[in-house]
Amino acid sequence: MQTIKAAVCHAFGAPLVIEQVQLAPPGMGEVEVTLDAVAICHSDISYAEGAWGGHLPAVYGHEAAGVITGLGGGVQGFSEGDSVVVTLIRSCGTCPSCASGRPVICETPYDGVNGPLKTAEGGPLEQAMACGAFAEKVVVDQRQIVKIPAEMGKDVAALMSCGVITGVGAAVNAAQLRAGQDVVVIGAGGVGLNAIQGARIAGARRIVAVDMSQEKLDIAKEFGATHGVLATEDKPWKAAFQALGGRGADAVLVTVGAIPAYEQAPRYLARGGKAVLIGMPHSGAKASYEPVVLAAVGQGLIGSKMGDVVIQRDIPWMVDLYQQGRLKLDELISGRWSLEQINEAIADTKTGSAKRNVIVFD
């Protein structure tokens, strides 16, 4: 076991505590990655607030990038010194979901409490979301990482681990957008901006962003939205219909966890359209629909976890798009912070004004 520095959650809703923890060496099929950057996702914040339960103490963080500094037995295709992104998608590769090409919904459970992390005293410390990346190093399964060009900035690369693949993947993989179709994206935060980028890359005809903030709607147009609608309007779906030339959208991508957004999503749809549910409300929160309407006009609701990506397939082409200048990543970063400033960075993220705040390690 080696000692590293991490931001630990000891009580839901309380500030994270920077302290020394123990990290085990990589086991069979695992790699050790020394991190250069980890982004703060709203899912980390929700977990730390107790939205979905979980064991405490815990180390959160799951949008990370760094360099491999240790290899366990049986690791193939990676070497020490490789630059990689680290994701939370820990897939077994053999369960029915993995075997059918859907590793994001792997059916093999992971016990993060008995993972590689321990407290300084040797007590249990959960590696939350199979990552625990609010730390100087992580030990993860080789299936969770993807090699990236060494010259790519780790701060922007970290964004690929969740927010980018979730948004772009929702448009391309889950919604299966075709060129010429119309899209509404509810929420113009980090995931929403990437859903907008995904719709643009897929060739959408018109892309309507819906958000509570005019500032965010203006930013959404920089990422590819053709129109913006304030969610505070009376019946905003009517404004979206007008923007789409008097019809509904072929796909509505809900990227926020607000229940009103879920309840209103079907109202934006055209006949035969589908709403893709991406944002993560707190456990126990419920939305209601009038199912006869969906049935009568052939509309659908589907969930999308992590953009339905296969990281080994999808991250390399997204990196290539970035290198071509066709996928915006640098513009997603609102601020860079040290690990010691993580609570300030979280507070800034919770204001809703930040796209992505990134913790950068020395």
The string of pLDDT tens digits covering residues 12-50 is 999 999 999 999 999 999 999 999 999 999 999 999 999
DSSP conformational letter for 258: -
Average of pLDDT values for 63-77?
97
Band of residue 181 on the pLDDT scale cut at 50, 70, 90 = very high
> In this structure, are 243 and 268 located in the same domain?
yes
Q: Judge whether 248 and 224 are in contact, CB under 8 Å.
A: no
| Owning domain of residue 190 | 176-303
> In this structure, are 245 and 103 located in the same domain?
no
> In this structure, are 202 and 328 located in the same domain?
no
> In this structure, are 312 and 295 located in the same domain?
no
Tell me if 329 is assigned to some domain. yes
> What whole-number percentage of the chain has pLDDT above 90?
96
Helices (H), 72-203: 96-99, 154-159, 165-169, 190-202
- CATH number of the structural domain spanning residue 299: 3.40.50.720
Report the C-alpha gap between 266 and 182 in whole angstroms.
14
Tell me if 167 is assigned to some domain. no
Report the C-alpha gap between 24 and 2 in whole angstroms.
7
> In this structure, are 232 and 333 located in the same domain?
no
Report the C-alpha gap between 13 and 169 in whole angstroms.
31
Tell me if 170 is assigned to some domain. no
pLDDT in tens, 282-293: 889 999 989 999
Tell me if 171 is assigned to some domain. no
pLDDT in tens, 321-331: 999 999 999 99
Tokens (6 digits) for 126: 């959960």
Report the C-alpha gap between 157 and 85 in whole angstroms.
7
Q: Which of 255, 282, 303 is the last residue of a domain?
A: 303
> In this structure, are 227 and 258 located in the same domain?
yes
> In this structure, are 52 and 200 located in the same domain?
no
Band of residue 137 on the pLDDT scale cut at 50, 70, 90 = very high
Would you state the pLDDT for residue 299?
A: 96
Average of pLDDT values for 151-180?
97
Q: Is 94 exposed, middle or buried (0-12, 13-18, 19+ CB in 10 A)?
A: exposed
Average of pLDDT values for 317-345?
97
Q: Which of 284, 303, 322 is the last residue of a domain?
A: 303
Tell me if 185 is assigned to some domain. yes
Minimal CA–CA distance to 305: which of 330, 346, 276? 276
> In this structure, are 59 and 21 located in the same domain?
yes
Compute the mean pLDDT over every residue in the chain, rounded to the nearest whole number: 96
> In this structure, are 65 and 152 located in the same domain?
yes
pLDDT in tens, 270-314: 999 999 999 999 889 999 989 999 999 999 999 999 999 999 999
- CATH number of the structural domain spanning residue 117: 3.90.180.10
Number of domains observed in the structure of the chain: 2
> In this structure, are 144 and 220 located in the same domain?
no
